[in-house]
């Protein structure tokens, strides 16, 4: 009988602002390969193929973001060299710089990566990869609410919100997952890549996990509607929130602003990160999504209601921006809303 290889060492990084569910959820999933499925199907645990441990600046217990106590197994100074490092999400202000706040974590990540470890992040955990200097001019993903945290603070990073996972770096030894429960996709991917596809499928069956192939596109436009610090553009945002159905909305916005068209276009994009027309499209599509979730109106009626006379154009735009056709969106999220009610 073939000898089972030594379990892979998987370090799960803890910081005081960490989300406890992701931290301990990762620990549980990485403890499972080779062990749990055999226990469930045969009554006897199998050989554990991965050995996770929680690592932090020190071994002193700390409180996670929700107050749950976390006691690390190792400090950075005492931890064994990991094969894989996973960085759960943690609470930082969206868009803000955290320069210098996580210097010990950044230094340790650089060191273990240089020695061959694969680094993986979930949601806002990608910020620590940026602090370690590992995201310059790289593709990345992160929770949609934190996209600007990467693009504002780390040069050349390109964020893909429509992909559940993004691989970067030499030999793809940096792996990032987006927001929410996409950390489960991350865990399954790492198990499949480093232990085996069979074991990943067994873990998915044990925990009844499904792959989040859709990504974050259906949710990402919400971030665009935050008010800006530019008072004129702020006034325009408030106006168009009530009047996005109007014909020629960009011309109307220029008039509301009192600026020349060229100045308005420049200031609007600087303040919101979008052209005025893209902003109007985002508002209209967000309203269309709400109507698809909550009502039974025809697609044509919804298109007309939010400002589009051409239903086929509306359908193409919706699919491009949201990642699903309007009918597919209704089927998925309308049904979910009914169940929750």
Q: What is the pLDDT along the chain (341 residues), one digit of tens a residue?
A: 556 679 999 999 999 889 999 999 999 999 999 999 889 888 889 999 999 999 999 999 999 989 999 999 999 999 999 999 999 999 888 878 888 899 999 999 999 999 999 999 999 999 999 999 999 888 999 888 888 888 888 888 888 887 778 888 888 899 999 877 889 988 988 998 899 888 988 888 888 876 655 555 555 554 455 667 789 998 999 899 889 899 899 999 999 999 999 999 999 988 887 899 999 998 999 889 888 888 889 999 999 999 999 999 999 999 988 888 999 888 876 765 565 44
Read off the tokens for 87: 């960085």
Domain extents for the chain? 8-215, 219-340
Report the CATH fold assignment for 219-340: Arc Repressor Mutant, subunit A (1.10.10)
Tell me the pairing of strands 174-177 and 165-168: antiparallel
CB 198 within 8 A of CB 104: no
Residue 140's φ and ψ, nearest 5 degrees, are -155, 165
Question: Helices 276-294 and 299-306 sit at what angle, rounded to 10 degrees?
Answer: 140
CA angle, 320 then 184 then 100, to 5°: 90
pLDDT given at position 170: 80
Residue 329's φ and ψ, nearest 5 degrees, are -60, -45
Euclidean distance between CA atoms 324 and 286, whole angstroms: 13
pLDDT given at position 68: 93
CB 253 within 8 A of CB 278: no
Per CATH, the number for 8-215 is 3.40.50.880
pLDDT given at position 222: 47
pLDDT given at position 340: 45
CB 17 within 8 A of CB 90: yes
Euclidean distance between CA atoms 302 and 215, whole angstroms: 24
pLDDT given at position 185: 86
pLDDT given at position 155: 86
């Amino acid at each position: 009988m073939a000898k089972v290889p030594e379990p892979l060492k998987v370090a799960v990084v803890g910081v005081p602002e960490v989300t406890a569910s992701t931290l301990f959820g990762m620990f549980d999933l990485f403890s499972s390969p080779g062990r749990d499925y055999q226990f469930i199907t045969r009554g006897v645990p199998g050989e554990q193929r991965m050995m996770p441990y929680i690592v932090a600046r020190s071994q002193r217990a700390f409180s996670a973001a929700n107050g749950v106590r976390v006691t690390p197994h190792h400090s950075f100074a005492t931890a064994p060299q990991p094969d894989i490092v996973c960085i759960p999400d943690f609470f930082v202000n969206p868009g803000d710089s955290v320069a210098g706040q996580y210097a010990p974590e950044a230094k340790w990540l650089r060191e273990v990566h240089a020695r061959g470890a694969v680094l993986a992040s979930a949601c806002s955990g990608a910020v620590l990869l940026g602090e370690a200097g590992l995201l310059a001019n790289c593709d990345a993903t992160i929770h949609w609410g934190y996209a600007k945290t990467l693009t504002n603070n780390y040069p050349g990073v390109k964020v893909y919100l429509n992909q559940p996972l993004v691989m970067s770096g030499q030999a793809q030894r940096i792996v990032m997952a987006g927001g929410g429960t996409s950390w489960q996709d991350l865990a399954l991917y790492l198990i499949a890549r480093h232990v085996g596809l069979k074991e990943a499928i067994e873990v998915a069956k044990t925990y009844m996990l499904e792959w989040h192939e859709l990504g974050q596109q259906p949710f990402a436009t919400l971030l665009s509607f935050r008010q800006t610090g530019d008072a004129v553009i702020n006034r325009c945002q408030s106006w168009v929130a009530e009047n996005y159905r109007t014909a020629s909305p960009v011309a109307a916005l220029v008039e509301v602003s009192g600026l020349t068209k060229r100045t308005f276009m420049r200031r609007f994009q600087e303040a919101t990160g979008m052209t005025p027309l893209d902003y109007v499209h985002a508002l209209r599509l967000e309203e269309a999504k709400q109507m698809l979730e909550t009502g039974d109106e025809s697609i044509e009626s919804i298109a007309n209601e939010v400002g589009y006379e051409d239903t086929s154009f509306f359908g193409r735009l919706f699919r491009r921006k949201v990642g699903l056709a309007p009918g597919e969106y209704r089927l998925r999220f309308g049904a979910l809303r009914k169940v929750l009610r």
